Amino acid sequence: MPELPEVEIARRNLARWLAHQAVARAEAEPTRIFRGADRRRFVRLRGRLLFARRRGKTMLLGFEHNQGFLSHLGMTGKWVRRPAGHPEPYSRARLTLTDGTVLHYCDTRLFGRIQPAPADALEQLPSVKGLGPDVLLDDVDGPRLQAALGGSRVPLKVALIDQRRLAGLGNIHAAEALWRAKLSPLRPAAGLTAAEWRRLAVGIRAAVRFALGQEEDEDIRYVEEPGTPNPFRVYGRAGKPCLRCRTAVRSVRQAGRSTYFCPRCQPGRRKR
Ligand SMILES: [Zn+2]
């Protein structure tokens, strides 16, 4: 499932693909990716890209003449670039560029979203305004992290993936950040010390930067897809030895999602 690093790479790809091209044609099937937004507005889109921004896991694309759209990849959404006439499975929306290449928005499970809106209104959309500070853009250090999450009574991992508190982390990178910071995902967010918040901020940056460095291909692959190697330190490694201390990694359910952690490196109580 795409999280901040994958969305950031998708944003960079779109910015690059659209840098010296204009949109000559836009198409989209009437699928639920539009979620009640005006699909015809997307289909009318033409011209040059002015900006490709990201807030958390949401991309905002602004085009000339105050056109634009929000793109959220949901669980299985991807933007891919293909030559003219190349059929692409699960293509739900397409931008044909002036050189004939086609940018497909593909989404097998249709949890992603495209919301057309004027370029100057994208930042004001409720789903964007409601986001917490962005893990990369907003220089989230220890005190900033504590301000965002420290008031929460829920377990640390659950607070970390609440996009209204902190934008960008999902199930994978929350687990990775907590492992790097040696903090238990089960501890209440409210109970951390200033030093632990600082450690967590460092862990988050390291986890996100690591993932950003992993992508080499233009086509992004998500770790849940069959045949994709798992590059992560703790995510998806239940029963396998912790890469730091060799203790078996544990998996628990939190808020309906699997959480992975090392019971030795990430103790449930603060160490004295
Ligand atoms: Zn360990």
Query: Running DSSP on this structure, what letter comes out for residue 77?
Result: E
Encode the chain (272 residues) as per-residue pLDDT tens digits.
899 999 999 999 999 999 999 999 999 999 999 998 999 999 999 999 999 999 999 999 999 999 999 999 999 999 999 999 999 999 999 999 999 999 999 999 999 999 999 999 999 999 999 999 999 999 999 999 999 999 999 999 999 999 999 999 999 999 999 999 999 999 999 989 999 999 999 999 999 999 988 866 677 788 778 888 888 999 999 999 999 999 999 999 998 999 999 999 999 865 54
Q: What is the CA(6)–ligand 1 centre distance, in A?
A: 27
Q: What is the CA(256)–ligand 1 centre distance, in A?
A: 24
Which listed residue (12, 244, 257, 264) is catalytic? 257
Residue written as tokens 């694309």?
A: 61
Q: What is the CA(139)–ligand 1 centre distance, in A?
A: 28
Q: What is the CA(267)–ligand 1 centre distance, in A?
A: 9
What span, in angstroms and rounded, lies between the C-alpha atoms of 40 and 165?
A: 33
Burial class (CB in 10 A: 0-12, 13-18, 19+), 266: buried
Q: What is the CA(245)–ligand 1 centre distance, in A?
A: 4
Strands 58-63 and 67-72 turn out to be: antiparallel
pLDDT, residue 270, reads: 57
What span, in angstroms and rounded, lies between the C-alpha atoms of 37 and 42?
A: 9
Torsion of CA 2, 57, 19, 45, to 10 degrees: 100
pLDDT, residue 26, reads: 98
Residue written as tokens 């449930």?
A: 268
What single letter denotes the amino acid at residue 80?
Answer: V
pTM for the full predicted model: 0.92
123 catalytic residue (yes or no): no
Which listed residue (11, 39, 54, 57) is catalytic? 57
57 catalytic residue (yes or no): yes
H-only helix segments in the chain: 4-17, 39-43, 126-129, 142-149, 156-160, 171-181, 194-214
Residue written as tokens 């939190």?
A: 254
pLDDT, residue 241, reads: 97
pLDDT, residue 272, reads: 47
17, 51, 115 from 64: Cα distances, Å: 16, 9, 17
Q: Is the dihedral of CA 175, 177, 180, 182 positive or negative?
A: negative
Q: Which helix (H) or strand (E) covers residue 49, if one does?
A: strand 47-55
182 catalytic residue (yes or no): no
The neighbourhood of ligand 1, an ion, using CB within 5 A, equals 242, 244-245, 247, 262, 264-265
35 catalytic residue (yes or no): no
40, 208, 241 from 115: Cα distances, Å: 11, 26, 43
